[in-house]
Structure 1
Amino acid sequence: MGRGRAKAKQTKVARDLKYRTYDPDFSALQKELHGDEDDGDDDDGDDYR
C-alpha cells in the first residue's frame, strides 16, 4: 500500500531516459574509459608502491 507515488516517479524517470534526446560527449567518455587524466597528477596518496 502507498506505492503509487514511488511507482509514478520510477515510470517518469524510465520514460525520460528512454525518450530523452541528447548529444553524448564521446571524448569525455573515451577519457573516462581509458583512464586519461587532464592534470597528469598520478599521486593517489599511496606511498608504499
Structure 2
Amino acid sequence: MNVSDPLALVMGAKLATLHELKTIYDSEDMWLLWEIAAVERVNGNS
C-alpha cells in the first residue's frame, strides 16, 4: 500500500502506525504528529 509523504514521515518517526492513523487519530491529530516529526527532523533528533 502506498501512503502519502506526511503519513510516511509520521510512521517513519514511529509516532503512530497506519492502523492507529486509520482508527484512533483524526486528521488534525495526524497533522500535529507530522509537525512533531518535521521539527525533530529539522533539529536533527531523528
TM-score where L is the length of structure 1: 0.36
Find the structure with the greater CA-based Rg: 1
Greater relative CO, 1 or 2 (CA 8 Å, sep 6+): 2
